[in-house]
Structure 1
Amino acid sequence: MKHYDAIVIGSGQAGSPLCKKLAKQGKKTALIERRYIGGTCVNDGCTPTKTWLGSAKAAYNAQHAKHVGVHVDGYHVDLKKIKHRKEEIVLKSRNGSLKSMEQTPNLDIYFAEASFTGHKTLKLKLNNGGEEELSADLIFINVGAAPAIPDIEGLKDIDYLTSTGILELEEIPGHLAILGGSYIALEFAQMFRRFGSKVTILERGPRIMSHEDDDIADEIARILREEEISILTDTHATRFSKDSEGITIDFKTQDQHGTLNATHVLVATGRKPQTEKLGMDKTGVTLTEKCFIPVNNKLETVVPGIYALGDVNGGPAFTHISYNDYTIVYRNLFEGANLTTTGRPVPYCMFTDPQLGRIGITEKQAREQGYNYKAVKLSMKHVARAVELGDTRGMMKAIVDLDTRKILGAAILGEEGGEVVSVLQMAMMGGITYDEIRYCVFAHPTYSESLNNLFMQLD
């Protein structure tokens, strides 16, 4: 058995930088990766999907350029070229990270499936054959999550797509049916509609985007329906069947049954932690009911020296949170910090077009938590920059505490919504009041400048 000072399982956005930092601190370190360096973000998530979304945006612009006096005739979507561009970008990032790791002293890389055999011991099934046994004083788990597949009759027999498999398509689906109505589902829905597919969303709940306020979710639904995306809410798929003509989906709503014919089905109903084969029970760690690895606010399990970072610990499932987990653990271990996850900001952005940038709490949460609050809104039709560029879809919304005059949360649904909401995040982190923002001097004409007008409504 080989003994290391530290073992990192998984090379996601926490594991990749952490293994190099540990090695550079003189720790004899092993990185174990089951598939590709970079984890979901680089290989199946952020990098490839946002590359495809860039192509979808170009197709939309070509179709709608006439509204600003530019006529684009005869454009077509080349999905094979879009896929090739995506693969080039992914490989550049993946291979760059691998090369950097290979050049790091004190760092050994194993491509293998890891499972615990004891308290801090692991057995590796190497991808190229054979086995290894490792142990370490410190173990960091960053294995991430994978698509969760619901148990619906016939689903496993129809060659369904997930957020990973759909990125391997080289032909545009004729009719793409999507199970789920949240962030991943909506990004793919709009993307493939712009590529030319007919798209139908089947959402089990009463509306899409169940974690957002009603007005934000309704505006997103309106935008998607303007692009002729069909959204069926309160709709449960009950059976799938396949024949030579395609896929038949039986579904039920609150008061009726129906059928839908599609060529492809994308399952986007959530994700589950990849803990099934880890053997965490051998370490003394008991998984949660949903199979996450429980940790304290310093990301350590009940076993001292074993940490879980990123999606696998059940925290916010975002790349930037995984990376922040890494910075907390590393700085606590080697810089004498006393950092925790308690109270950290959790911004996120859904990359539909327009984007939805979010920070802080929603209006619903402010009401439930008993704040003396007010919600202010501004349609993008009243944002000068949006008018000038010819895209006034969406709205700005902020929740403020009337007692402290500080911002509790914000949703920016508009072009560059993720960038605008970052301005409000920094204001929240710095304790800046809405009075200071509404009288702040922003460059003209920018989207952020309209934060003046948003908060002017609080006179």
Structure 2
Amino acid sequence: MSARAFDAIIIGAGQAGPSLAGRLNDAGMRVAIIERHLVGGTCVNTGCKPTKTLVASAYAVHTARRGGDYGFAVDGPIQIDMPAVAARARKVILDSRAGNETWLAGMTNAELIRGHARFAGPNTVEVAGEQLTAPRIFINVGGRAVVPDMPGLGDVTVLTNTDMVALEVLPRHLVVVGGSYIGLEFAQMYRRFGAEVTIVERSDRLIAREDPDVSAEVRTILEREGIAVRTGADCIGFARNGDEISVSVHCDGNSAPVIGSHVLMAVGRRPNTDDLGLDAAGIDVDARGYITVDDRLQTSVPGVYALGDCNGRGAFTHTAYNDFEIVAANLLDGEDRRVTQRLTGYALYIDPPLGRIGMTEAEAARSGRRLLHAKRAMTRVGRAVEKAETQGFMKVLADADTRRILGAAILGTGGDEAIHGILDMMNADQPLDALRWAVPIHPTVSELIPTLLLDLRPAT
């Protein structure tokens, strides 16, 4: 079989793929970008775009129900049109996907090839019945939801995040298995749409990677909205219960199962690397299937790179995009950018959102540093009071000797935006005193950050 030669091959048209194709195209390289399913990847089709659209719809519903808090009334109960809610999310998906496809089509040196790519050697890929070769190959295949083997799972139908963003019915009772970021966002939005919701989590607290006070406050926020939370679930199993699903929670025989109409499985994600022929190319993966990469994102095979969720070096759209930036800067701009230079911030998009950057308190304590700590309730933030959205708090950790901020959390209205002031200072490696003397705009959530820094005291 004769092979077509390209300057670069990109496998996967997710967040990093089209952007990299654009840079290589502009550099005059002949590029093949291969996509087996939907252009845009997880973010556009089943992740950020549709889920945050649904979050916005749920927020609007919640605000309307709280009209009395703001001095207005809505006649009668709020009516939820789930097909219309789903259609709004679907339009965002389709518009974003079409935008990516149009962008790729306009690249004169890039060719979008539909099909499933598999390696036939270190520099050769087979797709749609032909072979392609290139001295540089970039893997950007993303990930998917994990559906683990649990008792009775084969006897029932469970949903993943992919199914949820297309759901056009309102569950009577949604059981969310998994108390982390994806699960909590869907739990709150569907509770606000009017479903009964129960979260079942194996750990003894929600979002266990966060500090205990963050976990506890998130649980309080969700329970205030009527969401049932059952942590310490040591015997999760499933069985048919008429037309519904019985979800067992605890091994204790006296613990009643949860009877739900729908079950969302949100216990983690896995990389889409199990059917790429990586062995044929000699590309190494770790025990979980993630492609191992060095600090510049090159795999064990020279000239082959892995970007985005499939490399285990980040699980976010923004880290995937930064992977593209690192590779492009190094290959095209003569720079030496590395993954370890990256400070990864992230957010949990419940309402109010959680913005996070840097170390948790437990991580900082293990570092052996002398620590400074400050915390302020959102009830003491003017903007939160004015919006009648005072749940949560903000807190910051710093190194007492270097005067550098080590980590921060803002769980409160605008927290996903306000955290960037701290993220930028950390990224610029500036002492906290520089941020202390900033003059933020009033009234904002960010204006309290210098005041928070003034409150820093030795951690106990």
TM-score of the pair, normalised by structure 2: 0.96
Structure 1 residue aligned with 2:118: 115
**Cα distance in 1 for residues equivalent to 2:318 and 2:156:** 34
Q: Which residue of 2 aligns with 1:387?
A: 385
Q: 1:253 to 1:222 in 2, by over 3 A?
A: farther
Are the equivalent residues in 2 in contact too, given 1:202–1:236 (CA < 8 A)? Answer: no
163, 187, 195: which one aligns with 1:197: 195
1:406 Cα offset (Å): 1.8
Shift of 1:255: 8.2
Identity of aligned residues (%): 42
- Name the residue aligned to 2:326: 328
Is this contact kept in 2: 1:42–1:93, CA < 8 A?
yes
Once the two structures are superposed, residues 143-172 of structure 1 have per-residue CA deviations (whole angstroms, 9 ceiling, x without a partner) of 011001110122133221000001111110
Paired residues, what number? 454
Query: Hey, what's the Cα distance between the residues in 1 that align with 2:75 and 2:370?
Result: 54
8 Å CA contact 2:33–2:111 kept in 1: the answer is: yes
Whole-Å separation in 2 of the counterparts to 1:61 and 1:442: 28
Q: Distance in 1 between matches of 2:422 and 2:68?
A: 34
1: CA distance, partners of 2:163 / 2:370: 47
Q: Report the AA paired with residue 389 of structure 1.
A: K
| Equivalent runs, 1:269-284 vs 2, <5 Å | 269-284=267-282
Q: Distance in 2 between matches of 1:145 and 1:290?
A: 12
Question: 2:335 is matched with which residue?
Answer: 337
What corresponds to 1:53 in structure 2? Answer: 55
Instruction: Check whether the contact 1:235–1:254 (CA below 8 A) recurs between aligned residues.
Output: no
Q: Which runs of 5+ in 1 are unaligned?
A: none
Q: Which deviations, in whole Å up to 9, do the C-alpha atoms of 1:347-374 show, x marking residues without a partner? A: 1111110010001111111001111112
Q: Which residue of structure 1 lines up, in the alignment, with residue 43 of structure 2?
A: 41
Retained in 1: the 8 A contact 2:143–2:271? yes
Q: Which residue of 2 aligns with 1:294?
A: 292
1:79 aligns with 2:82: yes
Given the alignment, which residue of 397, 400, 410 partners 1:399? 397
Does the CA-based 8 Å contact 2:373-2:456 persist in structure 1?
no
TM-score scaled by length of structure 1: 0.96
Distance, in Å, in 2 between the alignment partners of 1:12 and 1:186 is 24
Distance in structure 2 (CA, Å) of the matches to 1:409 and 1:7: 38
Query: Alpha carbons of 1:334 and 1:452: their partners in 2 closer, same or farther (altered >3 Å)?
Result: closer
Give the aligned residue type for 2:412. G
Residue aligning to 1:268: 266
CA–CA distance in 2 between the matches of 1:271 and 1:81?
29
CA–CA distance in structure 2, aligned partners of residues 40 and 309 of structure 1:
14
Deviations 1:287-329 (A, max 9, x none): 1100110000000011110000011001120100000000110
Q: Distance in 1 between matches of 2:90 and 2:321?
A: 23
Report deviation, 1:256: 5.5
Q: Partners in 2 of 1:431 and 1:38 — Cα distance?
A: 34
Can you list the C-alpha shifts for 1:45-103, whole angstroms capped at 9, x where unaligned? 00000001000000110111211222223321111111111111111111111011111
State how 1:148-187 maps to structure 2 within 5 Å: 148-187=146-185
Deviates more, 1:437-446 or 1:402-411: 437-446
Within 1, Cα distance between the matches of 2:154 and 2:297? 36
CA contact (8 A) 1:202 1:237 kept: no
Asked whether the equivalents of residues 406 and 433 of structure 1 are also in contact (C-alpha less than 8 Å), the reply is yes
Distance (whole Å) between structure 1 residues aligned to residue 438 and residue 134 of structure 2: 53
Contact 1:359–1:409 (CA under 8 A) maintained in structure 2: yes
Q: Give the superposed CA RMSD.
A: 1.4
How far has the Cα of 1:238 moved from its partner? 3.5
The residue matched to 2:226 in structure 1 has which SS?
coil
Among residues 22, 40, 44, which one is paired with 2:24 in the alignment? 22
